[in-house]
Structure 1
Amino acid sequence: MTIETAQWGMTGRDQNGVMPAVGAHTPPDEALTPDEVSHQPAEKARVDMAANFDTLTALEAESIHIFREVAGEFERPVILFSGGKDSTVLLHLAVKAFWPAPLPFPVLHVDTGHNFQEVLDFRDRMVEKYNLRLHVASVEDYIADGRLEERPDGIRNPLQTVPLLDAISEHRFDAVFGGGRRDEERSRAKERIFSLRNAFGQWDPKKQRPELWNLYNGRHSPGEHVRVFPLSNWTELDIWRYIARDNVELCPIYYAHDREVYQRDGMWLAPGPWGGPRENESLETRSVRYRTVGDGSTTGAVLSDASDNFAILAEVAASRLTERGATRGDDRVSEAAMEDRKREGYF
C-alpha cells in the first residue's frame, strides 16, 4: 500500500490527515479522485486548505458543534435572545446548525422595560422571520406586582436575575444558551463554555469543570441547569467580521445614526421612559451608534460615522476599550460587578 493510498483511506480526513470543519465540504462536482490527490503538490494542498479554513470557519464550526452537542444531550434547551448583536449571531448560528429543519428549541427574552424600541421591533421581526417560539420574562411586571423593587439609581439590568431564574424554573429549561464572550469582561473570561448552575441558579467559579478540546460535560442533577456559551472564544472583531461575511441582519441601532443624547460620566446616554438629562446636562443631536445594547438607562452610545459593516470593522480594530468597558454603566459599580451578579444567577 502506498503512502498516498493510506492517506486516502483515513475516513473523514483529507489527504493531509486533517478533519474538515463542521459544515465544510467539497462540492461533488469539484471532488478529486484518489489518483488526482496523490499527484497534488503538498505545498499547494496546504495553501488551499489554509485559504478554505480560516479563523471564522473554525469559530463557526465550534459553535455549531456546541449547538448540536446540547441538542443531543439536553431535553429542554432555550436561547437567550435580546435582539443585540451577539444574540443575533448566536441565533444565526443556531439556525445554521439545524437547517433546513426548524430551530428545535424556543428563545427567551428578559425584558427590563427599558429597552430601545428599535431593538424590540428587531426582536419581533426575527421571531416572525424564523417562526420562533418566544418567551418573555418582564421585569416591569415583577415591579408592578411587588415581586421586585425599583432601584434608587433606576438601573434595571441587575433586576433581570429573578425573572430569568423564574422563567427557567417555570419552563423546566435544563440548558440555557447565552451570547457571552470571554473578551468582554474578566468574569466571563474565566467561565467555561458549559457552565453549571446549582438549584438556585447560582454560579460557583471554584466548581467549574475541565473542558478538554471539544469535550463538554453537561451532567447535572435535578433542579440544576447549564448555561452554554457557544461564542466564548469569539472576539468583538470576530463578531463583526462574521456579520460582514455572512451578511447577518442586525438591529439598525448598531450603525451610525443621528440621535438626541446627553453626556454623563463620560458616556453618551439617550433619553427615554427611564429618564433624561439632569439640570446641568443638555441634549445634543449627534451621529452615534451602539457597540452593545442593554438597559437604556445605563447603556451609552459612541460617537461614530460608521454606517456599514466595513467601517465598523475598522473602528473596532482601532479601539482600545471593550464594548462593555466603554459603554456599560452597570459594570462600573465595582471591578467584580459582573461576577457578583453571575454568582446570583445573572447571564
Structure 2
Amino acid sequence: MNARTEPHLIQSALSQAAEHHHHLSTTHLDALEEEAIFVLREVAAAFERPALLFSGGKDSLVLLKCAEKAFGAGRIPYPLLMIDTGHNFHEVTDFRDLRARELGAELIVRSVEDSMRRGTVRLAHPGESRNAHQSVTLLEAIEEFRFDALIGGARRDEEKARAKERIFSHRDSFGQWQPKAQRPELWTLFNTRHAPGEHFRVFPISNWTERDVWQYIAREDIALPSLYYSHERLVVERRGLLVPVTELTPLKEGETAERRQVRFRTVGDITCTCPVESLAATPDEIVVETLLSDVSERGATRMDDKTSDASMEKRKKDGYF
C-alpha cells in the first residue's frame, strides 16, 4: 500500500504536518511572550519612573497585551506615553484612548505642536514632516516627568539601525544613543545602572518579527485600528510608494489619484506613512502576505526612511524612539 493508491493517507500526512507546524508556532510565541513579560517585570523592578511608549499601533498593542498578562488589567505599574505629531490618523488616536480606558491605565500625551509653540521645534517650511521632530518633544517629556526608562515596541527586523539595539539600550544625559557603547547582554543578565539624568530605552519585543507579531495578534485576538486591514483608499504613486491622498498629502500638479484596496503595515504620521496594496482582511491572511514579502515594513511604507539625511541611525543618536 502506498500514498498514491490511498489518498486518505496523503490527507492524514498533511494534517499531521499542519498540526506539527501549529505546535512549533505556538511554542515559539510562548517563548517570545515569556521573554517580553520577563523584561516588562524587570523594568518595574529596576527603575523608579518608567513609562511605556504607546501609539495605538500594532506593536505597542502587542506590548500592552504582554503588560496586561504580566501585571493584570488595571495594574500596569507605569503610565502610557504618546508623542503626538498632530498629524496622526484619527482611527489610531481614538483606538489609543479606548484601550487606555479599557485597561484603566494612565495615558500621558505630549504634542509636537506644544514644542512648536515653545520654539523648541521649528519647521523648515509648513509642509515639512513633523515625524523626526518627535525626538525633541520626547526628550522634553523625559525631563518633565524625570522618566528613567521608556519601554518601546521597536523590533530588530524593522530596520538596520534598530537591529543594533540591545533590549536594554542606554541613553546618555542628552538622550543620545551611542551604538558602539552598548552594553553586553549575556544569559539574560541586563545592566541597568545609569547616572542621574541618563535613561534607558527598553525593547521587550526586540526579538520578534513582523510575522510573529501578526501570529500573536491572531492567537490572542488582539483588536487593532481598522487601517491595518484591507480597505479602499484614494492613493497616488510616488517614488515607488503609494501615498494616501489627504489634506496633509494632497495631489501635486500633474498627478492622478486612484482608488485601490490597501492596508497599512505600520501607522504613524500621515505625512510619511504609506499603505501597501492588499486584500488581507484578517490577521491570518496578513501572516500569509508577510511570508511572501521580501521588503521590510518600514522600507515598504515610510517615506522618511528613504532619505539619507533623515536616516534612522542618525535620528536615534539624536534621541528618536
SS in 2 for 1:136: strand
User: 2:273 aligned to 282, 299, 315, which one?
Assistant: 299
Does structure 2 retain, via aligned residues, the 8 Å contact 1:154–1:274?
no
Cα distance in 2 for partners of 1:122, 1:316 equals: 24
Deviates further, 259-268 or 107-116: 259-268
Higher relative contact order (CA 8 A, sep 6+): 2
Does the CA contact (< 8 Å) of 2:120 and 2:136 recur in 1? no
How many Å apart are 1:201 and its aligned residue?
0.2
Tell me what 2:90 maps to.
117
Deviations 1:9-32 (A, max 9, x none): xxxxxxxxxxxxxxxxxxxxxxxx
* 1:266-286 alpha-carbon deviations (Å, 9 max, x no partner): 111123342311012222221
Q: Residue by residue, what CA displacement relative to the aligned partner does 1:215-251 show, whole Å, maximum 9, x if unpaired?
A: 1111101000000000110000000000001111111
Q: Per the alignment, in what secondary structure is the counterpart of residue 67 of structure 1?
A: helix
Q: Percent identity?
A: 53
Q: After alignment, is 223-232 or 262-271 more displaced?
A: 262-271
Distance 2:75 2:189 in 1: 26
Alpha-carbon separation, structure 2, partners of 1:178 and 1:200:
19
Question: What is the alpha-carbon distance in structure 2 between the residues aligned to residue 259 and residue 303 of structure 1?
Answer: 10
Matches within 5 A, 1:160-171: 160-171=134-145
Please give the residue correspondences for 1:1-347 in structure 2 after superposition, counting only pairs within 5 Å: 54-99=27-72, 102-152=75-125, 154-334=128-308, 337-347=311-321
In 2, the alpha carbon distance for the partners of 1:187 and 1:335 equals 14
Task: State the Cα deviation string for residues 6-62 of structure 1 (Å, max 9, x = none).
Answer: xxxxxxxxxxxxxxxxxxxxxxxxxxxxxxxxxxxxxxxxx9xx7697110000000
Instruction: After the TM superposition, list the runs of 4 or more consecutive aligned residues in structure 1 that deviate by more than 4 angstroms.
Output: 50-53
Tell me the CA shift for residue 336 of structure 1.
Answer: 7.6
Shift in Å at residue 117 of structure 1? Answer: 1.0
Residue segments in structure 1 that go unaligned for 5+ positions in a row: 1-46
CA distance in 1, matches of 2:273, 2:314: 19
Cα distance per residue 1:87-114 (max 9 Å; x no partner): 1111111111102561111011000111
How far, CA to CA, are the matches of 1:145 and 1:169 in structure 2? Answer: 15
SS of 2:308's partner is: coil
State the TM-score, normalizing by the size of structure 1. Answer: 0.83
Distance in 2, Cα, partners of 1:313 & 1:216: 32
Deviations 1:298-331 (A, max 9, x none): 1110011101111111101100000001111111
String of CA shifts for 1:148-189, please: whole Å, max 9, x gaps: 112446211110000000001110111100111001111111
State the Cα distance separating 1:143 from its structure 2 match. 2.0
CA RMSD of aligned residues (A): 1.7
CA contact (8 A) 1:114 1:273 kept: no
Relative to 1, partners in 2 of residues 1:111 and 1:51: Cα closer, same or farther, differing over 3 Å? closer
Structure showing greater Rg: 1
* 8 A contact 2:229–2:282 mirrored in 1: yes
Partner SS for 1:137: strand
Structure 1 stretch displaced more, 241-250 or 140-149: 140-149
Give structure 2 stretches of 5+ with no counterpart: 1-19
After alignment, is 73-82 or 94-103 more displaced? Answer: 94-103
Distance 1:336 1:145 in 2: 23
Check conservation: 1:181, 1:229, Cα contact below 8 A. Answer: yes
Secondary structure of 2:139's counterpart equals helix
Q: 1:173 to 1:310 in 2, by over 3 A?
A: same
The DSSP-based 3-state class of the residue aligned with 1:150 is coil
Number of aligned residue pairs: give it.
299
Q: Deviation per CA, 1:98-138, whole angstroms, max 9, x where unpaired? A: 02561111011000111111111111111111111111110
Q: Distance in 2 between matches of 1:140 and 1:181?
A: 28
